[in-house]
Structure 1
Amino acid sequence: MDSVIQSGDSQQTLFDATTSGEARKILQTSSENDTKLQGLKTFLMDWINNELKQEHIVVKSLDEDLFDGLILHHLLQKIANITIEVEEITLSTVNQRRKLGVILEAVSSCLQLEESELKWDVNLIHSKDLLATLHLLVALARHFQPGLHLPPNVSVEVIVMEPTKTGVKTEKAIEFVTRSSDEDAAPKKDGFDQLFEMNPEKINDVKEAILNFVNKMLVNLSLTVTDLDTQFSDGVILLLLIGQLEGFFINLSTFSLTPASHENKIQNVSLAMDLLTNGGILENAVNPTEIVNGDLKSTLRVLYSLFLKHKKSSKPS
């Protein structure tokens, strides 16, 4: 066990850990000036500023500028293409925390994370906890823009403080904010990337072939698809198609048959991606947000993976 005495914000964190009864982590001062950490902070600030440049929002400090929820609100609405009904400007601590709570609930819903998986909360973000803010932004970047090549292998030294019956136990530990470059690298290009880049004139032929395949597979469900660009964006027909092709029933309680919100659509498509990935059908990961937003290449990539496995069953006997 490493005993640590620090001043300023660290003393306040120590007090918070003692009174709340929960373990807390704080960055070692030596880690705050680490070159890799500074590079990640700059990368994330550039990413946010690029996303929000049309709104004339400029982030200069991740922990100082994001704590009140204003920029997180705009960022999440932009990258997730959703509307979050909260106050635009909140001056009081109570209202800021309430706003943050709504925003972070939306984040959890989009990322499909359980509470135990979260490395941030309202208290940490509002108290300008840099480590929690970094974990939140990295999770958002990975989920909504998997093509971003985040700086790899960024780790920090933290002090873990855990209240005990006799006082506060403190230990040093290493915590990773990003892992290997393989984990954060852009997806490898496949045949669809080449098709869209080198042979765009053939896209309609591919769409027609997949459309014919899909409609043959859905005939028993009395469903007809006429527009690949839009009819798969809510995940409903995609889930029904997967169930039909793979020969199993997807319980209606596990997805929304009539999705009324963007979050419902994300949940539906996320379930479909999980089924395809776990079944070894989809080799290249696809961001559910791209399907929901009507990205044709992503939609075709998913449908083509099903076509490759089941194309024989679509031929007349």
Structure 2
Amino acid sequence: MTFTVCYFNGIVLEFMTVEKVLKKGFHNPKFRPTVEKQSEMDSSIPNVITAYGELKPSTEIDIAPGESRKIIQPSSLKNPKLEELMTFLIDWINATLKRDHIVVQSLEEDLYDGLVLHHLLVHLGNVKLDVEEIALSANAQKQKLTVVLDTVNQLLQITEGDNLNWNTKLIHKKDLISTLHLLVAIAKYFQPDIPIPKNVCVETLTLEIEKTGIKTMKHLEYITEKSDLFKLGPDKVKIVQQAMLHFANKHLGGLGVIVKDLSTQFSNGVILILLIGQLEDYFIPLSEYFLNPSDQKERLHNVTFVLEILKERGLLKHPVNPEDIVNLDSKATIRILHCLFAKYKDK
């Protein structure tokens, strides 16, 4: 089953079958569809791409009922850290394979057939694989990829029980998340000291087809390892926690709010919202959040709202998963507070 994902300003608006897009488009004067070449998968249904304002081209994703598919939110593709990592990996591959006169320009488009991955293993690990040099058909490409990935998994000592971030199907489908995870793993295995950019994280959207419709789940996924203040010793971390408590209480005192526990008192997002209002000298309308959240959904709404504010103001230096805050993760809470502290510590 093919679904079209519609975006606006990098945000997923709706998931529709192509038939629904056509129907919706012709009844909406702001939605001007243009018909492209018919899909090979279903020649009877034209692929529709929107061409109105800032509405970005739709993306077709094949998902069978009961299956799930993970994609990168378009807004994350503009993340400078992600762009830095992709450029780094492309330059690294091209430098490694320079003798073979192989030039990679796109990680999605140039690695899916197994040729580049095969040559990387040959050069980096002196590995010999019994595969075709150039696989032309889709089946031949998948067979070659399977051999290459099996070899990678053996080198990395990955077992069947491990939760793999890549497989033949995903790489051949040009899945960027899987391709990035695979390349980072290969680079770190063969060249442990390679300066791969750290703290690269993307916002992903997992789509799953159920009987009642399409289930979606947002998540923050790290592609490369984190480097943060929690690599400090326990004594120094404790000092940071005390500094954050003092900072919060200093600015919340005028509201009669006293913070004693960073994890529990910030987990519903309310005090974070009040703190931001105090620091930035404005009142956040009560209609924007739940002042007395009663369940997980309302708490998650509040924390997500906080992260959106921090992103808009350029204060969120490292991605934070809102679920971590709601689930009383003290490290995630301190990361948010540290973003505010870094800017307003002298206020």
| TM-score after normalising by structure 1 | 0.53
Q: Cα RMSD over matched residues?
A: 2.1
C-alpha change, 1:133 and 1:100, in structure 2 (3 Å) is same
1:136-285 superposed matches below 5 A: 136-181=182-227
Residue aligning to 1:128: 174
User: How far 1:33 sits from its partner (Å)?
Assistant: 1.6
Match of 1:32 among 73, 77, 97: 77
Distance 1:122 1:10 in 2: 25
Runs (5+) with no aligned partner, structure 2: 1-11, 17-47, 50-56, 229-347
C-alpha change, 1:10 and 1:75, in structure 2 (3 Å) is farther
CA deviations 1:246-290 (Å, max 9, x no partner) are xxxxxxxxxxxxxxxxxxxxxxxxxxxxxxxxxxxxxxxxxxxxx
Amino acid at match of 2:208: E
Larger strand fraction of residues: 2
User: How far 1:161 sits from its partner (Å)?
Assistant: 1.3
CA deviations 1:136-178 (Å, max 9, x no partner) are 0011111111111110100001111123332321121111101
User: How far 1:54 sits from its partner (Å)?
Assistant: 1.1
Residue aligning to 1:64: 109
SS at match of 1:170: strand
Amino acid at match of 1:64: E
Distance 2:153 2:112 in 1: 17
Runs (5+) with no aligned partner, structure 1: 183-317
Aligned residues: 178
Larger helix fraction of residues: 1
Match of 1:73 among 118, 121, 124: 118
Query: Is 2:15 the partner of 1:5?
Result: yes
SS at match of 2:15: coil
SS at match of 1:117: coil
SS at match of 1:5: strand
Detail structure 1 runs of 4+ shifted over 6 Å in the superposition: 6-10
Distance 1:143 1:78 in 2: 13
Distance 2:97 2:14 in 1: 40
Amino acid at match of 1:168: I
Question: Residues 69 and 96 of structure 1 are in contact (CA less than 8 Å); yes or no, is this contact kept in structure 2?
Answer: yes
Distance 1:153 1:63 in 2: 21
SS at match of 2:209: strand
Q: Highest relative contact order (Cα 8 Å, sep 6+), 1 or 2?
A: 1
Query: Is 2:113 the partner of 1:103?
Result: no
Q: Percent identity?
A: 50
Distance 1:141 1:81 in 2: 14
Match of 1:82 among 123, 127, 141: 127
Amino acid at match of 1:77: V
SS at match of 2:128: coil
